[in-house]
Amino acid sequence: MSAAVGLNLAVAGLIQGLLIALAGLAVSLCFAVARFPNAATGDFMTFAAYAGVAAQAWTGSLLAGAASAVLLTAGLAVASYVLVFRNFRGRSLVAPLIASIGLAFLLRSVLTFFVGFDQHSFHVPIARAIVFAGARVRPIDLWLAGTSAVTLLAVLAVLFLTPIGRRMRAVADNPELARASGIRARTVMLTLWTLIGACSAVGGVMLGLQTVVVPEMGWNLLLPAFAAAVLGGVGNPTGAVLAGIALGLVQALSTPLVGFTYQTAISFILLIATLVLRPQGLLGRAEPVR
Amino acid sequence: MQGYLTAVGTVGGIYALLALGLNLQYGFTGLINFGVVAFYAVGAYTSALLALRGVPFVLDFAAAAVLAALFAWPLGVMCLRLRDDYLAIVTLAFAEILRTVIVSEEWLTNGTRGIPGIPRPFSGLGAAAGGFAYLALVLAAMLAGVSLTVRLVGSPFGRLIQAIRDDEDAVRSVGKSPARCKLVVFMIGAGLTGLAGALYAHYLTYISPDQFVPLLTFYVWIAVIMGGAGRVGGAIAGAALLTLFLEGSRFLRDVLPFVSEVQMASLRLAAIGLMLILFTLYRPQGLLGRVAR
Amino acid sequence: MPVRKWMLTRRVLGQAGAATALAAVVGRPARADRPYRIGALNPITGAGSTYGSGMQKTILFALEEVKRAGGVDGRPIEVYAEDTQTSPDAAVLAARKLIDANKVDAIIGTWSSSVSLAVLPITNEANCLLLHTSSAPALSTPAQNPKHLAWRFQAASHQIGDAYAAIAAHEKASRAAAMAFNNDVQIASVGFFRSAWEKAGGKLPNPVVYEPNRTSYAAELQQALSEKPDFLVVSGYVPDTSIILREAYEAGNTAKIVIPGWAMGPATVKALGAEVLEGLIVVDAVPDAGSAAFKTFDAAYRAATGNPGSSNIYAAMCYDMVAVLTLAMQKAGPSADNAAIAQVIPEVANPPGQAVSSFAEGRKLLQAGQKINYEGASGPIDFDERGDVTPVFGVSVFHDGKLEQRYLLK
């Protein structure tokens, strides 16, 4: 594998990895604080892509489209919490997981009921790639990479550098103690779901910009997102981000060895191997079993 | 109409068998297995490939169950010391890896083309009688699964695995090995799942990799949770309820004539999603479960 | 949504309710008194969902058109619609429901090969017709289609493969390469391309098989272009093809690229733009020049969906299914069973006969005792002895953002 080929694969892998990281972060945040894997994450992303396409068609601006998508999806996520997930506090993860599957179906079907099954696309200006040390990088890829990196860092910054983030982490670590110390669950959860919605939205728009907007687009990304969340260490958002990027890179760079069909399988094999050798995930702490 | 009802009953019975397997693993032992469809696929392909080489049906079904259980063994050994949530994702990943293998190893599985022309028991009896006979076969398998579950759960071993579900450390403290018990249950559950896969393959007479997707695992989970995890009858009740949701929603159009045919598909999925949410919110213990969980 | 569609539904439902109840009590009455029931079984959800709703709507408006023209003499028609979910097991239950609960006589519009392969044993057993758009060769073998109840309205994979090879020869390709979406249809088509090309003395490296739902195919494209071909077949669907075309352009590709017609949609034409598409070769099964059937279909399709008819070749095939079936029913007479109807399908669709492009035209001529030859919206619709259409492929090239037809492959 020549250096140029390798570099090209790495660039593609990094972009894919950032996408998985966004979705994985959304899953991990929910896992950490609300204690269940949210299977509706994918359909939040799908919703965001559709919203973005519609907003871009209406306003003519991609930026406005993306911003509207983020706002609307954050609202959707908060609504999901208020209407559905709020009621599962304190129960095992299976019940809210099943409810989130139901929510995923509901979201997708409401979308297709009104919008149908046609494929839609964002309007992206086509430009020749910039050649950089033998690697081809599209201008749009730079924007996508930049935006996702900024989003990831912003969410992590909220989590680690702000008071509300501190409270969120307290709830994640020990809900009873957090409640006993007077941390108001409601503000924390509303902020949490806003972040989850925003993260999913950026991921959805990113996915929509790279591919075509179809009803099942987000659902297809659910598995890698779950994998990233667990690989990074359950309840560890930073780990999820790093794991997502790692999964993307591994998938891309393994293709010369294992071929295109096995590249996804490789990342899952890696996941299993890592967990067997290091059960707490990449960055998780060795916790006692709950 | 009875042909359709027989078909629905057959598919419902297969789901019941799947739910029995998962109920044993999750309901009674607390194992969060999200790779149900993997063992299903192993059973289906094993039985199909053997049958096409002339092996008699009884042996095909047996081989399907045994091979599925064997596939569960290394996975169990690796993962059963992991946290519950981890097992979920690992089994999910395993299912996808298996599907990739099925798609890629064409020499064995015919890849994306699938395997048509799988021989079907009772096909000589004609359409209606053959359908009834197959339904009877599936129900017999289901009853065998129920009987196995009841015997197992009522035995000392059964009490042990339920104790593991409720408090693993306590069990360890009295000197028993939870990992070994979990492994056994995992394998038995996988065997039931593999049998269901074989019954499915011979019923459809055609299998292809795109039928073995994670959605099927989710459906089986829905059946177990809705029926009541940890209750033997729960698996049957849940499978019946799931089938009712999935097939009953087909007839929604008769009560909603103003909706176009194309929109019906969306409405069906919406109805199923809404039911799931309402069920988990308002009847979390499932149809037959006790409220204490 | 046009209002008339739900009125059809209501009427059908009224009859359906009564008929089902009656049928359940009495059992199926004699053929001549009973309406002919058609099951529209299409991929509304799942991988085929881009085409499925259009296909189903087309079946419905085509049947409306038949009704407006006076219908089939002595045979009222009812239609029931279901979703295959592009999944064989969902399709099997849907087919069972259509056949057993709704008592349909024909199932039309199954799309994916795995769905058709799963449904075929059921329709054969029930002596129902199956009109489908799937390419798997196994669907028309004597073993799988012994009673000639299954009719294929789409080119079979070997025909598509031969078309690719013919285009390669026409374009004087010296080094060819191929990429295929990882499913049976595309892999088979590219496989047949390879054997046809190699039989003509050409050489083709192993086709690059790529996975669905990825955001980039740069690596796959890199491998396909590694031997510096001057001719590249990309056999896939809209989402992946649009990514590949874009990435090929960005990589500065100079090889001629050929794609099948179904892999190009109006949204992607707009998204990719004239520069990326310049020189792209598109091969499609086409009707003979100036097809009136296509024009009628196109106008109705636009009214029903807002999209041009050219965006959904499978819907055009469904339009032809309705026309062919109803014309065959008309010719076979009011008391004909499916075996008799199947027997006359080639008689109304194949030459010799006066060319007709709609049910209305054909009905008039059939009533006058004349021979007809239906020329459809998706092709000339001439069946071979196995029940497969012999498509005529049209080759078009993108120039200045517009698709221009250049030549036909015969």
- Would you list the domain boundaries of chain B? 2-213
pLDDT score, position A289: 37
Which chain A residues in 154-183 lie under 8 Å from chain C, judged by CB atoms?
none
C180 touches chain B (CB under 8 A): no
Residue bearing the bigger pLDDT, C342 or B89: C342
- Please report which confidence band the pLDDT of residue C343 belongs to, taking 50, 70 and 90 as the band edges: very high
Q: Best mutation site among C5, C12, C13, C44 for testing chain B: the one with the most B CBs within 10 Å?
A: C44
pLDDT recorded at residue A253 = 87
pLDDT digit string, tens, across residues C203-230? 899 999 998 888 888 888 988 998 899 9
Q: How confident is the model at residue C15 (pLDDT cuts 50, 70, 90)?
A: very low
Between C400 and A290, residue with greater pLDDT: C400
Exposed, middle or buried by CB within 10 Å (0-12, 13-18, 19+), for A288?
Answer: exposed
Query: How many angstroms away from the CA of A180 is the closest CA of chain C?
Result: 46
Most confident range, picked from A227-241, A269-283, B82-96: A227-241
User: Are C96 and B257 inside 8 Å of each other by CB?
Assistant: no
**Which chain B residues contact residue C143 at CB under 8 A?**
117
Q: What is the pLDDT of residues C237-278, one digit of tens each?
A: 988 998 899 889 887 888 999 999 888 877 788 878 888 899
Helix (H) or strand (E) holding C31: none
pLDDT band (50, 70, 90) for residue A285: low
Which chain B residues touch C99 with a CB distance below 8 Å? Answer: 3-4
In A42-71, the residues whose Cβ lies within 8 Å of chain B are none
Chain C residue numbers touching B127 (CB-CB < 8 A): 125-126
Nearest chain B CA: its distance from C96 CA (Å): 5
- Binned at pLDDT 50, 70 and 90, residue C327 comes out as very high
**What is the least distance, in Å, from the CA of B175 to any CA of chain C?**
47
User: Looking at this protein, which amino acid is placed at residue A205?
Assistant: V
Tens of pLDDT, residues A41-63: 999 999 999 999 999 999 988 89
How high does pLDDT run on average in chain A? 86
Closest to C210 (Cβ–Cβ): which among A128, A211, A260? A260
What pLDDT, on the 0 to 100 scale, is given for residue A1?
A: 61
pLDDT at residue A80, as a whole number: 95
Give B175-239 as a DSSP string: T--HHHHHHHHHHHHHHHHHHHHHHHHHHHSEE-GGGS-HHHHHHHHHHHHHH-TT-HHHHHHHH
List the subunits that have 3+ CB pairs under 8 angstroms with A: B, C
Chains contacting chain C through 3 or more C-beta pairs under 8 A? A, B
Proportion of chain C above pLDDT 70, given as a percent: 91
Cβ distance of B8 and C93 shorter than 8 Å: yes
Dihedral through CA B98, CA B104, CA B107, CA B109, nearest 10? Answer: 50
> Which residues on B lie below 8 Å from A98 (Cβ)?
221-222, 225, 276, 280
Best of C209, C211, C215, C262 to disrupt the A interface by mutation (most A CBs within 10 Å)? Answer: C215
Structure letter (DSSP) for residue C286:
-
Percentage with pLDDT > 70 across chain B: 96
Mean pLDDT, rounded, of chain B: 87
What is the predicted pLDDT for the residue at A290? 37
Q: Considering only CA atoms, which of C219, C313, C222 is closest in space to residue C262?
A: C313
Mean pLDDT of A195-213: 92
Domains of chain A and CATH, by start: 3-277 (1.10.3470)
**pLDDT in the model for residue C290:** 61
For the cut 60, the answer to whether the pLDDT of residue B293 exceeds it is no
Residue in A97, A231, A234, A254 to test binding to B, most B beta-carbons within 10 Å? A97
Measured CA to CA, the distance from residue B29 to residue B162 in angstroms comes to 5
Distance from CA of A134 to the nearest CA of B (A): 32
Distance CA C364, CA C75 (A): 16
What integer pLDDT is reported at residue B84 of this predicted model? 65
Smallest Cβ distance to A109: which of B92, B218, B270? Answer: B270
ipTM rounded to 2 decimals: 0.86
Inter-chain touch C267–A19, beta carbons under 8 Å: no
Chain A residues with beta carbon closer than 8 angstroms to that of C53? 116-117
**In this complex, which of A99, A104, A259 lies closest to B281 when CB atoms are compared?**
A99
Residue with more model confidence, C328 or B246: C328
pLDDT tens-digit series, residues C18-66 = 444 433 333 344 445 679 999 999 999 888 888 999 999 999 999 999 9
Q: How many CB atoms lie within 10 A of CB C346?
A: 17
SS3 letters for C326-367?
A: HHHHHHHCCCCCHHHHHHHHHHHHCCCCEEECCHHHHHHHHH
**Interface contact C219-A255, CB threshold 8 A:** yes
Q: Does C373 touch chain B (CB under 8 A)?
A: no
- Partners of C150 in the β-ladder: C130
pLDDT average, residue stretch B71-89: 76
Mention every residue, 6+ apart, whose C-beta is less than 8 A from residue B89. A37, A226, A227, A229, A230, A271, A275, B34
Chain B closest-CA separation from residue A267 CA (Å)? 9
Tell whether the model's pLDDT for residue C406 goes beyond 90: no
Question: Which residue type sits at C60?
Answer: L
Identify the closest residue of chain A to C53 by CA–CA distance.
Answer: A117
B273: chain C residues, CB-CB within 8 Å: none
How far C14 CA lies from chain B's nearest CA (Å)?
Answer: 9
